Amino acid sequence: MPPPSFFPQGALVSVLTTQPLGRALDYRAPEGGCFVGAFVEVPLGPRKVLGVVWGAGRGDYDPAKVRAVLRVLDAAPMGAPMRQFLERAADYTLTPLPAMLRLATRAPGLGDPPSMRRVFRIGSATPDKMTKARRQVLGALAEYGDLAFTLKELADLAGVSAGVIKGLAAQGALLEEDSPRDLPFMPLDPARPGKALTADQQAAAQALAAAVAGKRYGTTLLRGVTGSGKTEVYLEAVAAALRAGRQALVLLPEIALTSEFLTRVQARFGARPAEWHSGATMTQRRRIWRMVGQGGAQLVIGARSALFLPFQDLGLIVVDEEHDTSYKQEEGVLYNARDMAVLRASICGAQVVLASATPSLESWANAQAGKYRRLDLTARFGAATLPQMQPIDMRAETLPRDAWISPSLQQAVEARLERGEQAMLFMNRRGYAPITLCRACGHQIGCDHCDARMVEHRFLNRLMCHQCGETKPMPEVCPSCEVAGKLAAVGPGVERLGEEAAARFPQARIATLSSDMYGTARALKAEIESIAQGAADIVIGTQLVAKGHNFPNLTLVGVIDADLGLQGSDLRAAERTFQLMRQVAGRAGRAEKPGQALLQTFQPEHPVIRAIIAGDEEAFWQAQAAEREAAQMPPFGRLAGIILSAGAAAPAFEAGQVLARHDGPLRAIGAVVFGPAPAPIARVRGRHRVRLLVKAPKGAPLQAALAAWVRGLRLQGDVRLAIDIDPQSFY
Ligand code: ADP
Ligand code: ZN
């Protein structure tokens, strides 16, 4: 790499700020000069704002008025690959560059001087008497040479109480000192032995490790059923990145970031990695952001937004559960972290591993087309076998009103209870009941701000809108006809299913898992872990439980409504149902005991249900791919969604019509526009929403055409426009 350009004091530099200005502004380099990529503070009007030196100044502004950079911040400069990544991601998602920079600077207090904390390092005095605990402390420190640790870190590391450390410090055998709070993370050791891999796993691990050692870009789809050891395999790729002296990033859906997972990583590399997630404190975020930039964090495990951390030398990005919809950010900057991971890796010469039991059709097709390498793990590790899957034909079952557990499923659960095994009942609906109906007038209670029904959450004793999160107390009388005592819950949710299970299986310990029943993601994860240890006989859950948790004693999964995802007009409905059902089924029989999955369905002959039952994934993907190819839909064509929203319906609709009429730039690339039409959810948070859908041939320069198309539109009043490239959801 060429050395970064340096700008001496007074030279014109172009600074990109996080303010919505449209472009970078010229400033003069401060006293002492600055490098390209430096994080700086600059004056903007009366304010001081954060920015990055993006390059030489453009010189198109009155030189007499150009102001000076106030100061260079104490942070590693942003490297050229990162700047290029932000530019290309901005181009791809049609996002203004300052908004991309905001994503990349999501750590508080970047401009603050480092704060201090108390640490311990090895001292020169010999302690008066040597105990086992004291030897452990000194031994642990000797192993890490010069490093200093906080009281808690050192106590954990040596496995002793804080008192032992304080005792040693009092005698001068340890030195106590203040040091900057943002310390490097403990070094990870790739040379520690991993688990002995099976031949299958070994082959995949070696292929990935060799690719990482090659220090060039490449993407691998690592496909294997749940429990086949994908995690073990990609940890070997992480080891290869560490051996090559490069950094690694493992992206997980937020909910899969469990302490069970972190413990596994720690067992493999001897220390905890940096952990980037929504529950991290400001201090933790700041430390990770800084250390990633300085190379003081070798491995980050994180949710979606970790992709925008300022890695200096990234050699590997793992996207675990790559098909997961949570990788698509649906608010603010609309990006798909899986696709942006591939972009980032291609710029910095890194490998990408997309791991999944049920890949997205996009990734599957990219592997078919030879763009991605594909590695398959076919067997489950050890004795664990894939669960046996069977439909329960609901047309043949008799159920009382307001009951959802069929007699066949009930029997299967009872058999597990007798054997002391766990059973899981899965229903992808939060709350108690999706509809609250007045039996006097027929009114259904809806949200005041959205075009959606309010869902009863009996646990919270409130009604909740799943669109905007608005809640209100359960009314005593019907809001429409004001008759009392006639409001009835209609349809099932997990809470109601829990109630039914409690009545049917009075002896069993039942745990209902739904995100809104726990105050924090942490509390929920702790609950899931205790259930995995055996704290419940029957687990009732939503989508949450389908993600990555290991329940060794679970041998039955009952899917209450396998048809749920088949309804609706979503392009990906079949794919999602397939993935979700396979994942849920994958929860059963992970340890020695064989598992069974029972799917309650009214359409056992539906092609998706049949593919799930038969376990014939290739056939399912082939069929889906053929369908999409015939319709020229992604990944065989391209889509972009346009969402216009406004306080009133008419202006949003008018703007949509203007766009539809002036579709010249789109027609020029062979694209077509559908709409405007009211969005399926026509009102969210009090704003009316209108959608257009643009469909283009695969190779067409879609972004440029879209930019030219919307550039001509003058938005009136409070109308806002958002462009969603490769939309995942169509609400
Ligand atoms: P996946 O990521 O494909 O779901 P995991 O890597 O989590 O699979 O493996 C499932 C379980 O099997 C884990 O508990 C893991 O530790 C264990 N396991 C997988 N491979 C091995 C192996 N070669 N040796 C010992 N345990 C293994
Ligand atoms: Zn609402």
pTM, two decimals, is 0.81
User: Ligand 1 atom closest to Cα of 320?
Assistant: 2
pLDDT at 658: 92
- Residue from 231, 301, 385 whose mutation best tests the ligand 1 pocket (most atoms within 8 A of CB): 231
pLDDT at 371: 96
pLDDT at 546: 63
pLDDT category at 332 given cuts 50, 70, 90 is: confident
Residue 517 Cα to ligand 2 midpoint, Å, equals: 19
Residue 334 Cα to ligand 2 midpoint, Å, equals: 21
Q: Ligand 1: does its nearest atom lie under 6 Å from the Cβ of 194? A: no
Cβ contact 261:301 at 8 Å: yes
Give dist(CA 175, CA 123) in Å, integer: 5
Of 563 and 146, the one with more pLDDT: 563
Nearest to 240 by CA among 333, 350, 164, 330: 350
User: Mean pLDDT across the stretch 216-232?
Assistant: 92
Is residue 731 scored above 70 in pLDDT? no
User: Mean pLDDT across the stretch 83-104?
Assistant: 95
Domain 388-429+493-624's class? alpha beta
Residue 228 Cα to ligand 1 midpoint, Å, equals: 6
pLDDT category at 429 given cuts 50, 70, 90 is: confident
Asked which of 354-363, 551-560, 676-685 is least confident by mean pLDDT, the reply is: 676-685
Q: 637-725 maps to which CATH number? A: 3.30.70.600
pLDDT at 25: 92
Q: Ligand 1: does its nearest atom lie under 6 Å from the Cβ of 229? A: yes
pLDDT at 179: 77
Ion ligand 2 neighbours, Cβ < 5 Å: 447, 449-450, 465, 467-468, 470
Percent of the chain topping pLDDT 90: 52
Give dist(CA 123, CA 135) in Å, integer: 14
457 beta partners: 462
| DSSP-assigned letter for residue 79 | P
Task: Please give the distance of CA 84 from its chain centroid, rounded to a whole number.
Answer: 23
Which residues have C-beta within 8 Å of that of residue 648, sequence separation ≥ 6? 688
Counting ligands in written order, the one closest to the CA of 466 is: 2
Give dist(CA 454, CA 430) in Å, integer: 12
User: Mean pLDDT across the stretch 507-524?
Assistant: 78
Is residue 548 scored above 60 in pLDDT? no
Residue where the block lists tokens 């006097």: 440
Residue 191 Cα to ligand 2 midpoint, Å, equals: 53
Buried b / exposed e along 216-234 (16+ C-beta atoms within 10 A):
ebbbbbbbbbbbbbbbbbb
Counting ligands in written order, the one closest to the CA of 250 is: 1
pLDDT at 249: 98
Minimal-distance CA residue to ligand 1 atom 20: 229
Residue 673 Cα to ligand 1 midpoint, Å, equals: 47
Domain 6-80's class? alpha beta
Mapped onto helix, strand or coil, the DSSP state of residue 157 is helix
User: Mean pLDDT across the stretch 509-537?
Assistant: 80
Residue at 227: amino acid letter: G
Q: Ligand 1: does its nearest atom lie under 6 Å from the Cβ of 321? A: no
In three-state form (DSSP H/G/I as H, E/B as E, the rest C), the secondary structure along 166-233 is: HHHHHCCCEEEEEEECCCCCCCCCCCCCCCCCCHHHHHHHHHHHHHHHCCCCEEEEEEECCCCCHHHH
pLDDT at 569: 53
Counting ligands in written order, the one closest to the CA of 468 is: 2
Residue 207 Cα to ligand 1 midpoint, Å, equals: 18
pLDDT at 592: 66
Sheet holding 454-457, edge to edge: 454-457, 462-465, 471-473
Is residue 404 scored above 80 in pLDDT? yes
pLDDT at 622: 85
Residue 364 Cα to ligand 1 midpoint, Å, equals: 23
Counting ligands in written order, the one closest to the CA of 687 is: 2
Look at the domain 116-180 and name its fold: Arc Repressor Mutant, subunit A (1.10.10)
Query: The tokens of 597 are what?
Result: 């999955």
Task: Please write the tens of the pLDDT for every residue from 128-145.
Answer: 888 999 998 888 888 766
Q: Ligand 1: does its nearest atom lie under 6 Å from the Cβ of 247? A: no
User: Ligand 1 atom closest to Cα of 548?
Assistant: 4
Nearest to 332 by CA among 656, 99, 101, 22: 99
pLDDT category at 380 given cuts 50, 70, 90 is: low
Minimal-distance CA residue to ligand 1 atom 25: 195
Query: The tokens of 28 are what?
Result: 């003069």
Residue 453 Cα to ligand 2 midpoint, Å, equals: 8
pLDDT at 578: 76
Look at the domain 199-377 and name its fold: Rossmann fold (3.40.50)
Residue 447 Cα to ligand 2 midpoint, Å, equals: 5
Is residue 49 scored above 60 in pLDDT? yes
Is residue 567 scored above 70 in pLDDT? no
Which residues have C-beta within 8 Å of that of residue 523, sequence separation ≥ 6? none
Sheet holding 720-725, edge to edge: 672-684, 687-697, 637-646, 720-725
Q: Ligand 1: does its nearest atom lie under 6 Å from the Cβ of 198? A: yes
Which residues have C-beta within 8 Å of that of residue 547, sequence separation ≥ 6? 253, 255, 256, 321, 324, 583
Give dist(CA 683, CA 690) in Å, integer: 9
User: Ligand 1 atom closest to Cα of 225?
Assistant: 3
Of 620 and 4, the one with more pLDDT: 620
Residue 342 Cα to ligand 1 midpoint, Å, equals: 26
User: Mean pLDDT across the stretch 163-181?
Assistant: 87
Residue 377 Cα to ligand 2 midpoint, Å, equals: 44
Mean pLDDT highest for which of 236-245, 331-340, 703-712? 236-245
Question: Domains of the chain: which residue ranges?
Answer: 6-80, 116-180, 199-377, 388-429+493-624, 432-491, 637-725
Which residues have C-beta within 8 Å of that of residue 441, sequence separation ≥ 6? 478, 480, 481, 483
The verdict on whether omega for the bond into residue 676 sits within 30 degrees of 0, i.e. cis, is yes
Query: The tokens of 422 are what?
Result: 């766990």
Of 208 and 561, the one with more pLDDT: 208
User: Ligand 1 atom closest to Cα of 232?
Assistant: 6
pLDDT at 656: 92
Q: Ligand 1: does its nearest atom lie under 6 Å from the Cβ of 201? A: yes
Is residue 712 scored above 70 in pLDDT? yes
Is residue 570 scored above 70 in pLDDT? no
Minimal-distance CA residue to ligand 1 atom 6: 229
Buried b / exposed e along 150-186 (16+ C-beta atoms within 10 A):
bbebbbebbebeeebbebbeeeebbebeeeebbbebb
Give dist(CA 385, CA 388) in Å, integer: 9
Minimal-distance CA residue to ligand 1 atom 9: 229
Residue 303 Cα to ligand 2 midpoint, Å, equals: 27
Is residue 165 scored above 80 in pLDDT? yes
708 beta partners: none
User: Ligand 1 atom closest to Cα of 195?
Assistant: 24
Give dist(CA 493, CA 487) in Å, integer: 17
Of 412 and 568, the one with more pLDDT: 412
Residue ranges of E strands in 187-343:
218-224, 247-251, 274-276, 299-302, 314-320
Residue 381 Cα to ligand 1 midpoint, Å, equals: 6
User: Ligand 1 atom closest to Cα of 226?
Assistant: 4
Q: Ligand 1: does its nearest atom lie under 6 Å from the Cβ of 280? A: no
Is residue 400 scored above 70 in pLDDT? yes
Query: What average pLDDT is seen over the chain?
Result: 88
Of 716 and 250, the one with more pLDDT: 250
User: Ligand 1 atom closest to Cα of 586?
Assistant: 4
Phi, psi (degrees; rounded to nearest 5) at 43 = -80, 140
Residues in the chain: 731
pLDDT at 147: 72
pLDDT at 515: 67
pLDDT category at 385 given cuts 50, 70, 90 is: low
Mapped onto helix, strand or coil, the DSSP state of residue 640 is strand
Nearest to 582 by CA among 539, 626, 617, 544: 617
Counting ligands in written order, the one closest to the CA of 455 is: 2
Give dist(CA 300, CA 274) in Å, integer: 5
Q: Ligand 1: does its nearest atom lie under 6 Å from the Cβ of 224? A: yes
User: Mean pLDDT across the stretch 497-503?
Assistant: 95
Asked which of 409-413, 448-452, 603-607, 624-628 is least confident by mean pLDDT, the reply is: 448-452
pLDDT at 381: 60
pLDDT at 258: 75
User: Mean pLDDT across the stretch 296-315?
Assistant: 95
Is residue 644 scored above 80 in pLDDT? yes
Minimal-distance CA residue to ligand 1 atom 11: 227
Residue 425 Cα to ligand 2 midpoint, Å, equals: 28
- Residue from 358, 378, 381, 551 whose mutation best tests the ligand 1 pocket (most atoms within 8 A of CB): 381
